[in-house]
Amino acid sequence: MVGATINQFMVQSSLREAERIIEQERVMRLSAQDTETFIQALENPPPPNAQLKAALQHYREAKRDDEDTGFNWHPRPKGL
């Protein structure tokens, strides 16, 4: 334990493990093939589908309502 109290040792060990877990969750590791697939998807995205277009239209309408009075949000019906 090299000059540390048991409490200090436990705190430092816990901190190192927490940092390791956070780093593990924060970093995404991809194979070469997965990296290529990901880059291709970023560079050549598929065209927006009907659901995405409807969501964008809904967002724009909500933003337009917001210009002077505050955000006027109307949730979309299920399935849109």
Domain assignment present for residue 68? The answer is no
Is the residue at 31 inside a domain? yes
pTM higher than 0.75: no
Would 12 be classed as within a structural domain?
Answer: yes
Of residues 43 and 3, which shows the higher confidence score? Answer: 43
Identify whether 72 is part of a domain: no
Q: List, for residues 34-79, the tens digit of each pLDDT value.
A: 999 999 999 999 999 999 999 999 988 887 766 665 566 677 777 6
Domain count, the chain: 1
Judge whether 24 lies within some domain.
Answer: yes
CA distances 45 to 30, 37, 55, 58, Å, are: 19, 11, 18, 22
Identify the CA nearest to 79 among candidates 47, 57, 55, 48: 55
Give the pLDDT of residue 27: 86
Flag whether 3 is in a domain. Answer: yes
CA distance linking residue 11 with residue 8, whole number of Å: 5
In a domain, 75, yes or no: no
Q: Residue 28: which domain range?
A: 1-46
Between these two residues, 41 and 2, which has the higher pLDDT value?
Answer: 41
Q: Is residue 32 part of a domain?
A: yes
- Closest residue by Cα to residue 79 from 47, 54, 60: 54
Given this model, what pLDDT does residue 20 score? 93
